[in-house]
Structures are given as structure tokens and as C-alpha cells.
């Protein structure tokens, strides 16, 4: 029933709930972080698709914050976040649980090795996400939680509701949830498992609001009108995955990475 309710939220309702929130200017520390030697050249090359300066400025990232990055993977955003919040800030990587099997243990080891290899990550720690609690950080410890293109995974495994509740617990009153996700047009039918990797903006907003968050702003900084969101192999058809193989690379390079919603939510004080 809750999915039916979420899927009935239309664009007009979203517009009514949203607060106009233009992208602000990136801080000097964020600009410096984007030029940092901690970043790999391959990651820098994707800035034109991911717009990290504008995205993090929209979320309101500032030096000295305690920030939780959800599911950091290989650390694309970690490379920017750690130097951007600086030595007085704290970056918590809500990541793999080394006690949850060999695959997660190996991922945790790789991530820790990345942190150990550069002093820029002295402000960064890994917080294993345990299935028993789904906590992503100590309660009321964070100024900001950020998550990038993860909601479809939680919908697929049935953990989305628990994840949003965990974000709410981790944030201080007044704290920000910054979220980016592949966007499904509102006139399409939402697969509850998000098997294509695309999610309606209305569905994401409904999940966040159910957890207690208030929508504080939307940005189109990561919008891509060329993305038709109707590929047989889902969002993974587009760069950087090219699910249809190298013969189609030029075709999908002309489209670019996916159309993405970029949303800012606030935990009420």
C-alpha cells in the first residue's frame, strides 16, 4: 500500500513541497579539494557528468562538518569530501561490514587501504553498516548525510525504508540529507524493485518524508534531458558501464550519464 501511495505523488505535489534552492557558490575548500592530488585522473574525468562542485555546494557542504557518506564504493566522492571538510571535519564512510562475508570483507580492506595510503584521509573513518541495526553512524552525530545513486539498490533488496530511518537517526536536528539518484519520468510506471536502476522523484520524496525528513530543495544540476530512461539493460546501458558492449559506446557517449534528481532534505529541529 505504501508504494501505491508513493507512486501517486505527482509533480505538482513535489513542486508545492519544494523550497526554491539555487546552487550556491562552492567554498574555497571545496574548490581546492577538486584539484587535490588525492583524486585519481579517471575520477576527475567524470566531473563533467557528476558536477561535484555544484552538487556539494547545493547540499551546503562546509569545512568542519561531520559528514556521513553512504556506500562509498571505491571512493569517488570520498576523494572530494575528505579534503573539502578539512582537518577539523569528520568524514564517516558508512560502508561494507567485514563480518558479513568474504565479499564485504574484501571491499572493507580495499577501502581501508585507500584511507591508509594518504594523510588527506586522517579525518576519515569507516563505519560498518550491520544488517542487525542498519545504523550508518552514531545517533545524532552528523551534520550531513550524502548518498549518490543508491536508492534503487535499496529498493531492490527491500531495505530502503530502514536506510532512510538510519539517515534520520544519524543526523543532528537541522542536519541535511543530500541525495542523488537516477530519475524515472513521473509518467512511467515505477517498478517497486527499481530493476532498471531508475526511480521516480516522487517515490524518493515519499520515502524520505515517511522517515521524518522535510524536502528543502531540488536542483537540476545533474539533469540530462538526452536520457530517455527506457533501455533494455537499464541505466547500466549508459556510461560508465556500457552494458550493451563496446560496439555501442559512441552511441551512448553521445547521451552521457543518466538523468539524475538532486535533492536536499532536512531533519526538523
- pLDDT score of 9: 40
Cα distances (angstroms) measured from residue 140 to each of 155, 166, 168, 207 = 25, 10, 8, 20
Q: Are 191 and 235 in contact (CB under 8 A)?
A: no
Query: Which cell numbers in the block locate residue 2?
Result: 505504501
107-112, long-range: CB < 8 A, 24+ apart: 110/74, 111/72, 111/74, 111/75
- pLDDT score of 245: 96
* pLDDT tens, position by position, 226-256: 999 999 999 999 999 999 999 999 999 999 9
CA gap 51, 47 in Å, rounded = 5
Q: Are 252 and 226 in contact (CB under 8 A)?
A: no
Q: What is the dihedral of CA 204, 206, 211, 214, to 10 degrees?
A: 90
Percent of the chain exceeding pLDDT 70 equals 91
Q: How many residues does the chain have?
A: 269
- pLDDT score of 152: 98
The model's pTM: 0.91
Question: Residue 38: which H helix or E strand, with range?
Answer: none
Query: Which cell numbers in the block locate residue 219?
Result: 536542483
Query: Which residue in this structure is represented by grid cell 556539494?
Result: 56
Task: Answer whether residue 167 shows pLDDT above 80.
Answer: yes
SS3 of 200, please?
A: strand
* CA dihedral over 53, 220, 77, 231, signed as positive or negative: negative
CATH class for domain 27-33+41-266? Answer: alpha beta
Amino acid at each position: 500500500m505504501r508504494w501505491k501511495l508513493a507512486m501517486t505523488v505527482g509533480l505538482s505535489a513535489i513542486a508545492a513541497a519544494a523550497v526554491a534552492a539555487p546552487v550556491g557558490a562552492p567554498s574555497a575548500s571545496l574548490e581546492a579539494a577538486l584539484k587535490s592530488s588525492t583524486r585519481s585522473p579517471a575520477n576527475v574525468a567524470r566531473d563533467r557528468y557528476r558536477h561535484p562542485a555544484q552538487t556539494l555546494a547545493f547540499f551546503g557542504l562546509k569545512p568542519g562538518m561531520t559528514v556521513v557518506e553512504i556506500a562509498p564504493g571505491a571512493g569517488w566522492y570520498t576523494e572530494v569530501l575528505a579534503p573539502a571538510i578539512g582537518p577539523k571535519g569528520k568524514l564517516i564512510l558508512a560502508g561494507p561490514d567485514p563480518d558479513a562475508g568474504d565479499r564485504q570483507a574484501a571491499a572493507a580492506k580495499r577501502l581501508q587501504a585507500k584511507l591508509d595510503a594518504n594523510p588527506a584521509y586522517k579525518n576519515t573513518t569507516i563505519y560498518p553498516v550491520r544488517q542487525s541495526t542498519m545504523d550508518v553512524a552514531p545517533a545524532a552525530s552528523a551534520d550531513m548525510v550524502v548518498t549518490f545513486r543508491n536508492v534503487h539498490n535499496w529498493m531492490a533488496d527491500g531495505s530502503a525504508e530502514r536506510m532512510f530511518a538510519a539517515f534520520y537517526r544519524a543526523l543532528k536536528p537541522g542536519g541535511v540529507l543530500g541525495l542523488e539518484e537516477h530519475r524515472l519520468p513521473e509518467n512511467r510506471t515505477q517498478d517497486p524493485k527499481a530493476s532498471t536502476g531508475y526511480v521516480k522523484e516522487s517515490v524518493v520524496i515519499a520515502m524520505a518524508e515517511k522517515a521524518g525528513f522535510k524536502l528543502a530543495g531540488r536542483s537540476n544540476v545533474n539533469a540530462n534531458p538526452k536520457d530517455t530512461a527506457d533501455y533494455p539493460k537499464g541505466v547500466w546501458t549508459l556510461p560508465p558501464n556500457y552494458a550493451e558492449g563496446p560496439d555501442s559506446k559512441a552511441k551512448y557517449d553521445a547521451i552521457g550519464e543518466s538523468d539524475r534528481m538532486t535533492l536536499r532534505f532536512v531533519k526538523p529541529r
